[in-house]
């Protein structure tokens, strides 16, 4: 049996509406162009991207024993994601977000943490972790049940079993969160937050400075997504900036997860890191052109074609 890619962490159901210019007063109403549901969260969203890009992927985490959990698991299964290790937590709501999408692609969020917060170290499927080709730990900062050492244990076990590892976070970032993450970082091959999160974690003024500080804490490589400014990869050997694709943005929900999926898929193909950025870049741009984290990407070949044919934004 081939070793799967595994995502573990936050599973969220997004309820998205576009376009929202304002919230009406009182009992007023506004007509929207579209409302839809989408699987999201740093584990579930990345799993969808990996599956669309042709990788065998299993995801682990928690949802509630409720209708939203049914919808989320059904959506993940529809993309071919193995959800056998997604635990149902009775009496706890499924994590969900209401996202009113603005015309410029911005997406303020109304969020219920729900089942993500009660996923514990006792829920971790260790046999799956030990046979993973790649482990992506997404949103462990939203999973208080793992405790201070749980995330590091998961990453260490995966690394010891021969997996490459990556990590992303959900929250805005702060020095307090960095103190919690520090035990994890020596076991992370690729740390992949956005630039704002990295700067807030490290109290840095610039993404380059934040990346250097994170490398000093033991991460092998740092990849920072920067929205319309593209992405920045930093390792001990190289620093590479890649411009974003020149597209019309509909919704930025899930773009970071899509970037992670593209980058991870390329790692598995043995591409050099600077080339892995290109597949991540393309996957994120494709998602940004639709509504929801599961939009845009159709399959691997189509993403490669987009990567090669779609121009980058002028520098």
277 within 8 A of 223, measured Cβ to Cβ = yes
Residue 82: the pLDDT is 98
Residue 192 burial (10 A CB sphere; 0-12, 13-18, 19+): buried
In angstroms, the CA 257 to CA 253 distance is 9
In angstroms, the CA 155 to CA 173 distance is 20
Query: Token pair 């969203």 is at which residue?
Result: 45
Distance linking the first and last C-alpha atoms of the chain = 45
Give the pLDDT means over successive 10-residue stretches in the chain (315 positions): 91 95 93 95 98 98 98 98 98 96 88 96 97 97 92 98 97 94 97 98 97 98 97 97 96 94 98 98 96 92 98 91
Residue 1: the pLDDT is 52
Residue 192 — φ and ψ, nearest 5°?
Answer: -130, 55
Residue 18: the pLDDT is 92
Sheet holding 82-89, edge to edge: 82-89, 57-64, 5-9, 134-138, 164-168, 190-191, 221-225, 231-235, 239-242
Residue 9: the pLDDT is 98
Residue 166, helix vs strand vs coil? strand
Strand 34-40 with 12-18, pairing = antiparallel
DSSP conformational letter for 185: G
In order of 39, 214, 215, 300, the CA distances from 14 in angstroms are 6, 30, 33, 24
Q: What is the residue-wise DSSP string for 274-312?
A: HHHHHHHHHHHHHHHTSSSTTSS---HHHHHHHHHHSPB
134 within 8 A of 166, measured Cβ to Cβ = yes
Instruction: Provide the Cα torsion 290, 293, 295, 298; round to 10°.
Output: 140
Strand 231-235 with 239-242, pairing = antiparallel
Residue 2: the pLDDT is 79
Residue 66: the pLDDT is 98
Q: Distance from CA of residue 303 to its chain's centroid? A: 18
Residue 222's contacts (CB-CB under 8 Å, 6 or more residues apart) are 190, 191, 192, 198, 210, 211, 214, 215, 232, 233, 234, 235
In order of 158, 244, 260, the CA distances from 86 in angstroms are 18, 34, 20
């Amino acid at each position: 049996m081939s070793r799967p890619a595994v995502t573990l962490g936050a599973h969220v159901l997004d309820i998205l509406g576009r376009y929202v210019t304002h919230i009406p007063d009182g009992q007023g109403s506004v007509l929207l162009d579209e409302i839809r549901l989408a699987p999201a969260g740093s584990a579930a969203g990345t799993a969808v991207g990996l599956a669309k890009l042709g990788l065998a992927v299993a995801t682990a985490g928690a949802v509630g024993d409720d209708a939203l959990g049914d919808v989320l698991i059904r959506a993940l299964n529809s993309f071919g994601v193995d959800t056998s290790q997604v635990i149902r937590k009775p009496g706890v709501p499924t994590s969900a977000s209401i996202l009113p999408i603005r015309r410029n692609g911005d997406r303020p969020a109304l969020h219920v943490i729900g089942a993500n917060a009660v996923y514990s170290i006792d829920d971790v499927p260790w046999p799956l972790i030990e046979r993973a080709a790649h482990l992506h730990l997404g949103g462990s900062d939203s999973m208080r049940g793992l405790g201070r050492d749980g995330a590091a244990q998961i990453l260490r076990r995966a690394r010891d079993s021969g997996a490459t590892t990556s990590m992303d976070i959900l929250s805005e970032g702060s020095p307090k969160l960095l103190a919690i993450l520090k035990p994890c970082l020596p076991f992370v091959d690729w740390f992949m937050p956005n630039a704002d999160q990295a700067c807030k974690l490290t109290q840095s003024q610039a993404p380059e400075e934040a990346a250097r500080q994170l490398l000093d804490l033991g991460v092998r490589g740092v990849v920072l997504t920067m929205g319309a400014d593209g992405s920045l990869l930093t390792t001990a050997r190289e620093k590479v900036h890649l411009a974003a694709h020149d597209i019309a943005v509909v919704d930025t929900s899930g773009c970071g997860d899509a970037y992670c999926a593209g980058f991870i898929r390329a790692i598995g193909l043995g591409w050099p890191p600077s080339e892995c950025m290109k597949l991540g870049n393309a996957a994120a741009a494709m998602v940004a052109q639709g509504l929801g984290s599961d939009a845009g990407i159709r399959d691997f070949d189509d993403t490669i074609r987009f990567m090669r044919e779609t121009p980058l934004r002028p520098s």
